[in-house]
Amino acid sequence: MRHGLHRPLLAAAVGGLLLTGCSTVVAGAASPGGDVVTDVSSQDFPITAAVDDDPVDQAARNSLTDLYAFWGEAYPAAFGEDFQTLQGGIYSVDLANLDESQFPDGVGCGSDPREVEGSGAFFCAGRGLPNSDSVTYDKNFLTELSGDYGRSLVPFVMAHEFGHAIQYRFGFRGESINQETQADCFAGAWTRWVVDGNAEHVAIRVPELDKIIRGYLITADAVGSDPNEEGAHGSYFDRVSAIAEGYDNGVEKCRDDFGSDRVFTAAEFTQEDQANQGNSEYDETITLTENSLPTFWSDVFPAAFGKDFEAPELQGFDGTAPDCVAGNRDLGYCAGDNTVYFDEEELTRPAHDDLGDFSTATAISLPYALAARDQAGLSTDDSDAIRSAVCLTGWWQAYVFNGNDEQVRLQPGDIDEAVSFLLTYGTNDKVFPNTALSGFELLRAYRAGFLSGGSQCDVGIPG
Mean pLDDT check: name the lowest of 215-229, 301-315, 346-360, 446-460.
215-229
Give alpha helix (H) positions in 216-261: 236-249, 251-256
> Cα–Cα distance between 343 and 362 in angstroms, integer?
13
Terminal CA-CA length for the chain: 28
Percent of the chain surpassing pLDDT 70: 90
In this structure, are strands 313-317 and 121-124 parallel, antiparallel, or unpaired? unpaired
Q: Return mean pLDDT, the chain.
A: 89
Which pLDDT value is given to residue 219?
A: 73
> Cα–Cα distance between 241 and 238 in angstroms, integer?
5
> Cα–Cα distance between 204 and 216 in angstroms, integer?
16
Q: Is the pLDDT of residue 41 over 70?
A: yes
Which pLDDT value is given to residue 37?
A: 87
Q: Is the pLDDT of residue 15 over 80?
A: no
For residues 255-270, average pLDDT: 90
pLDDT digits (tens, 9 = 90+) for 303-352: 999 999 999 999 999 999 999 998 999 999 999 999 999 999 999 999 99
pLDDT band of 278, cuts 50, 70, 90: low
Write down the domain spans for the chain: 25-256, 281-456
pLDDT band of 227, cuts 50, 70, 90: confident
Burial label for 137, CB within 10 Å (0-12, 13-18, 19+), is buried
Which pLDDT value is given to residue 432?
A: 84
Which pLDDT value is given to residue 127?
A: 81
pLDDT band of 26, cuts 50, 70, 90: very low
pLDDT band of 22, cuts 50, 70, 90: very low
> Cα–Cα distance between 100 and 350 in angstroms, integer?
48
Q: Is 93 helix (H, G, I), strand (E, B) or coil?
A: strand
Which pLDDT value is given to residue 21?
A: 41
Q: Is the pLDDT of residue 212 over 50?
A: yes
Which pLDDT value is given to residue 274?
A: 63
User: In DSSP terms, which residues pair with 409 in a beta bridge?
Assistant: 2
pLDDT digits (tens, 9 = 90+) for 169-195: 999 988 999 999 999 999 999 999 999
Which pLDDT value is given to residue 17?
A: 35
pLDDT digits (tens, 9 = 90+) for 75-92: 999 999 999 999 999 999
Percent of the chain surpassing pLDDT 90: 75
Q: Is the pLDDT of residue 47 over 70?
A: yes
Which pLDDT value is given to residue 11?
A: 29
How would you write 277-342 as a 3-class SS string?
CCCCCHHHHHHHHHHHHHHHHHHHHHHHHCCCCCCCEEEEECCCCCCCCHHHCCEEEECCCCEEEE
pLDDT digits (tens, 9 = 90+) for 121-136: 999 998 889 999 999 9
Residues 6+ apart with CB under 8 A from 44: 61, 65
Which pLDDT value is given to residue 309?
A: 98
Q: Is the pLDDT of residue 34 over 80?
A: no
Top-confidence residue, 163 or 208: 163
Q: What is the helix, strand, coil percentage profile of the chain, to 5?
A: 50, 5, 40
Q: Is the pLDDT of residue 28 over 60?
A: no
Q: Is the pLDDT of residue 277 over 90?
A: no
Which pLDDT value is given to residue 7?
A: 33
For residues 46-67, average pLDDT: 97
CA 145 to centroid of chain Cα atoms: 16
